[in-house]
Structure 1
């Protein structure tokens, strides 16, 4: 395979990407041409905030082709277009053959939640100290155990199971189903895992089956009645919108567990939930916090 590399200003990225797609590129990627330099600029905003700009000032576009002839033909045709003005060809280079599956797998190692509770990809052996584990591979839905918000939720689940138990559990915005599966692994037996994304619902079902646990996965309307434990690892803005709905599902004496919240967002979440429950910060990791409340 061969890759064609181009340099272009912000306003030409979409035209070039569309053209490369029409020229049968296997893939088209866009990256900041000034990354790792003093000219690098942030493109994405913080969670819940609009992006500061729509594109990088200068972008490097890389298109992958099966053969050099395809890359050369694409280069020739693009240079003849009016929209190529201000753009530049950086070159055509062969792409070395690699075991892409092995390369991808090498980026995911077992994740320690507690000393005896681990998230382990299926291609890894279980750590000898893992008394409880979730077998989970990267997929279409969020939640592999590598993000601080997921780890904090799972730590809370592990701690709670050793005290008064989890009771009936709702995992709202379940993604891969990792929190619902973690609850099942720690003794919960009546679990609803819901998400607005059908792909996440299917992912949760498959992951639950692979881990030998029972749960009910479906769309949000499946959540009915009261739960002893309500989990929601989303982001601060949707968590504020969902405040009345989530609080309505928490049983007397039950727990609400929220994640996807930055440390600076703690007060606004407390204010949003104040009419129903008193949120407190229960855990912190890498700038993220876990907030909990008891009815």
Structure 2
């Protein structure tokens, strides 16, 4: 395989990226060409959301191709385009063959939720102290246990075991929170997501963990539940406040994540007509907010 390395001004990053995609690049990455210098720029965006800009003032775009001929052809075609004005080809270089599966697997170790509760990829043996485990490999759907929001939700579930029999995981992603609830006493579990790929991932992950649940799109969410979990982001959580609260039975728990510490008051205000949210946990600038319905 060969890498084609380009120097691209900010305004050309998007058309160059689209062109590389059309030229069958296997992958494309964008980085600050001025990184580690005084001209370095920081691009900060809301976690889980698109970046505020497509690139830096001077971006290094690296595209991967199957062959040197394909990389050279892409470079020739790009240089003939009007939008390539101001861009430059910095070079081409071979990429050493690697065992990409093994390399990917090496980046994911078992994740401790509590000393006795762990998330364990399928290629690892569970730690000796693990009494409960979730088998989960990285996939298309969000949620592998490595993000603070996921860990806090699972930690809360473990700390409140046994959870009630009826649980709703709203925005289930990989299904990790629903599976965690099943491992801690839940019996009737409903997991919903707007993404069909997440619904399918949840079903497959539940099967792999020998857990029974129902997974579907959001219109499948019906009835009241002892525990409602939603690990999304602050803005959709505010919009969903009346819906999520309606799914919590009297005396039941609401657990929300995907919230930055500075957003706590916004969430409290949004949910005040139904429940009194409190911050129950915090990690790396993220918070877990919970409430018990009167």
Q: 1:245 aligns with which of 231, 243, 249?
A: 243
Q: Distance in 1 between matches of 2:123 and 2:235?
A: 36
Measured after TM superposition, the shift of residue 19 of structure 1 is: 2.8
Q: Which residue of 2 aligns with 1:222?
A: 220
Q: Distance in 1 between matches of 2:48 and 2:214?
A: 30
Measured after TM superposition, the shift of residue 294 of structure 1 is: 0.6
Q: Structure 1 residues 230 and 69, CA, compared in 2 at 3 Å: closer, same or farther?
A: same
**Residue ranges of structure 1 left out of the alignment (5+ in a row):** none
* Matched-pair contact (CA < 8 Å) for 1:176–1:200: yes
Q: Which residue of 1 aligns with 2:79?
A: 79
* Matched-pair contact (CA < 8 Å) for 1:180–1:191: yes
3-state secondary structure, aligned to 1:254: strand
Measured after TM superposition, the shift of residue 67 of structure 1 is: 2.0
Measured after TM superposition, the shift of residue 11 of structure 1 is: 1.3
Q: Distance in 2 between matches of 1:28 and 1:9?
A: 16
3-state secondary structure, aligned to 2:76: helix
* Matched-pair contact (CA < 8 Å) for 1:48–1:236: no
3-state secondary structure, aligned to 1:290: strand
Any idea what the Cα deviations from partners look like across 1:113-139, whole Å, max 9, x if unmatched? 000000000000110100000000001
Measured after TM superposition, the shift of residue 33 of structure 1 is: 1.8
3-state secondary structure, aligned to 1:191: strand
Any idea what the Cα deviations from partners look like across 1:239-262, whole Å, max 9, x if unmatched? 000000011111111100001111
Give the alignment's Cα RMSD to 1 decimal: 1.7
1:289 aligns with 2:287: yes
Farther off after superposition, 124-133 or 64-73 = 64-73
Q: Distance in 2 between matches of 1:50 and 1:71?
A: 28
Q: Which residue of 2 aligns with 1:170?
A: 168
Any idea what the Cα deviations from partners look like across 1:165-204, whole Å, max 9, x if unmatched? 3231010000000000000011110111111111111000
- 1:32-111 residue pairs with structure 2 within 5 A? 32-47=32-47, 52-111=52-111
Measured after TM superposition, the shift of residue 71 of structure 1 is: 1.8
3-state secondary structure, aligned to 2:157: helix
Q: Structure 1 residues 189 and 48, CA, compared in 2 at 3 Å: closer, same or farther?
A: closer
Q: Which residue of 2 aligns with 1:145?
A: 145
* Matched-pair contact (CA < 8 Å) for 1:47–1:236: no
- 1:262-273 residue pairs with structure 2 within 5 A? 262-273=260-271
Normalized against structure 2, the TM-score is what?
0.95
Normalized against structure 1, the TM-score is what?
0.94
* Matched-pair contact (CA < 8 Å) for 1:160–1:166: no
Measured after TM superposition, the shift of residue 57 of structure 1 is: 1.1
Q: Distance in 2 between matches of 1:275 and 1:42?
A: 39
**Residue ranges of structure 2 left out of the alignment (5+ in a row):** none
Measured after TM superposition, the shift of residue 25 of structure 1 is: 2.6
Q: Distance in 2 between matches of 1:195 and 1:147?
A: 19
Q: Which residue of 2 aligns with 1:126?
A: 126
Any idea what the Cα deviations from partners look like across 1:232-282, whole Å, max 9, x if unmatched? 011100000000001111111110000111111111100100010000111
Q: Distance in 1 between matches of 2:190 and 2:218?
A: 9
Q: Distance in 2 between matches of 1:207 and 1:20?
A: 34
3-state secondary structure, aligned to 2:160: helix
1:208 aligns with 2:206: yes
